[in-house]
Chains A and B, each alone.
Chain A
């Protein structure tokens, strides 16, 4: 819920989550530096910087892999929803770790008075037509620019300013950035370090992330097939087929999904798109008499799709009717905030 642009308020769960997140990242970085410096003690400042580059780089890659798994895991199993609820801070922390990797790289060149070599590497235009020898740092810089854009807009001010569909499209650039990062590592460190750990890390990450996204995406396809309306109405089922304080989700052919909620004997239909981040309203439930989005807890009245005062979000509603003991919904949307519930007692 929000007043102004504070969508998700601080609470004990968020403090605990952020504490675990920061402690895990610190433990990884300290552990990496400690173990690698024991195995091959650095002999100079430059070698220490090199270790930092690897520590930040591997940490950022593992964080990105995990972040990209959260969305499809939450689609496949609701037990992962609490992680999704807190994903924003994870993403911003990831950006800072990735930026530290990039800055350490610049520091590595600067420590040897060799910044012109870095510039020469990035502007060796002929190399851009080669595969092995491609200036892989450019791929990392491009990915970092996307991550910056995402981290900078990871606030509800930008979500409200850009509107959820545009904001979501912008943040889907993370998939492209992930591809750039994998190729950055494959054409970079994997070319000179022949440890089997690097291809193993890349292969495992690529398989897990893409596998989860493809499975979750195709599972959603069934819900997008839609039902052709009969005389303008879609059959939903009997009132008892909708669990109390829960919803059934339907969609007309080619249309957006509609969440048909039952609260006792009251039936109402709302857009399945939460006004906050377009989360799946119909997968939530009714808490304290209000329809609650499963992603970030935004709440709406079933009667008219409006958030309770002082909040101002409103959802599109749909006409519902009872016919021969079955609920039917008209897939033509009503203006946001239009009362449209019926009583089936």
Chain B
């Protein structure tokens, strides 16, 4: 890898782990309870 690619690599991963990690934790914390899923299911067919 060129010097530029190594620098880009070092920059991308901390940003990526932070952004994706926050999204993952939020998605886990905010997900609706299992028993409430059926009641709040949308009208249209969804998967």
For residue B5, which residues in chain A have a CB less than 8 angstroms away from its CB?
165, 168-169, 172, 278
Interface of A (DSSP majority class): helix
Q: Is the CB of A132 within 8 A of B17?
A: no
Pair B13/A210 contact, Cβ less than 8 Å? yes
For the complex formed, measure the closest distance between the CB of A90 and the CB atoms of chain B, giving whole angstroms: 19
C-alpha gap A117/B44 in the complex (Å): 6
Question: B28 contacts which chain A residues (CB < 8 A)?
Answer: 186, 190, 199
- B31 and A257: CB pair below 8 A? no
CA distance A179 to B15 in the complex (A): 10
Please tell me if the beta carbons of B45 and A217 are within 8 angstroms of each other in the complex. no
Nearest CB of chain A from residue B36's CB, rounded to whole Å: 11
Decide: A108 near B47, CB < 8 A? Known: A169-B5, A214-B13: yes
Query: Does A100 lie at the interface of the complex (its beta carbon under 8 Å from any beta carbon of B)?
Result: no
Residues of B within 8 A of A176 (CB): 16
Known: A194-B34, A202-B24. A210 touches B17 (CB 8 A): yes
Within 8 A of B (CB), among A19-54: 50, 53
The answer to the question of A220 belonging to the interface, with a C-beta cut-off of 8 Å to chain B, is yes
The answer to whether the Cβ of A221 comes within 8 Å of any Cβ in the partner chain is: yes
Distance between Cα atoms of A255 and B4 in the complex (Å):
10
- Residues of B with C-beta under 8 A to A257: 3
Total interface residues on B, CB under 8 Å, equals 32
Contacts of A108 on B, CB cut-off 8 Å? 47
A112 adjacent to chain B (CB < 8 Å)? yes
- Picked from A131, A199, A210, A251, the residue with its CB within 8 Å of the CB of B16 is A210
How distant is the Cα of A278 from the Cα of B1 in the complex, in angstroms? 5
Let me know if B2 and A183 touch, CB within 8 A: no
| Binary interface encoding of chain A residues 162-199 relative to chain B, with 1 for a CB under 8 A from any of its CBs, else 0 | 00010011001001101100110011001110100001
Tell whether A217 pairs with B9 under 8 Å between CB atoms, given A120-B44, A179-B19, A278-B2: yes
* Tally of chain A residues near chain B (CB < 8 A): 47
> B39 in the interface, Cβ–Cβ < 8 Å?
no
In the complex the two chains form, is A132's CB within 8 Å of B9's CB?
no
A213 touches B9 (CB 8 A): yes
The 0/1 profile, CB within 8 Å of B marked 1, for residues 73-109 of chain A is 0000000000000000000000000000000010011
Once bound together, how far apart are the Cα atoms of A179 and B13, in whole Å?
10
A289 within 8 A of B: no
Are A132 and B31 neighbours in the complex by a CB distance under 8 Å? Answer: yes
Contacts A112-B45, A172-B12, A179-B16: A206 and B3 contacting too (C-beta < 8 A)? no
The reply to whether B45 and A114 contact each other, CB–CB distance below 8 Å, is: yes
Complex contacts, B47 vs chain A, CB 8 Å = 50, 53, 105, 108-109
Contact with A along B6-25 (1 / 0, CB 8 A): 11111011101101110110
Bound complex: CA A114 to CA B34 (Å): 25
Contact: B21 with A206, CB < 8 Å?
A: yes
Give chain B nearest CB distance to A152 CB in angstroms.
Answer: 21
CB-based nearest B residue for A50: B47
Nearest-Cβ distance from residue A179 to partner chain B, whole angstroms: 5
The answer to whether A224 has its CB under 8 Å from any CB of chain B is yes
In the bound complex, residues from chain B placing their C-beta under 8 Å from that of A199 are 24, 28
Partner of B2, one of A50, A192, A256: A256
- List A contacts of B16 (CB < 8 A): 175-176, 178-179, 210
Chain B residues whose C-beta falls within 8 Å of the C-beta of A178 in the assembled complex: 16
Bound form: Cα–Cα A59–B44 in Å: 29
The 10 closest A-B pairs by CB, nearest first: A186-B27, A210-B17, A117-B45, A194-B34, A114-B45, A217-B10, A179-B20, A117-B44, A213-B13, A191-B31
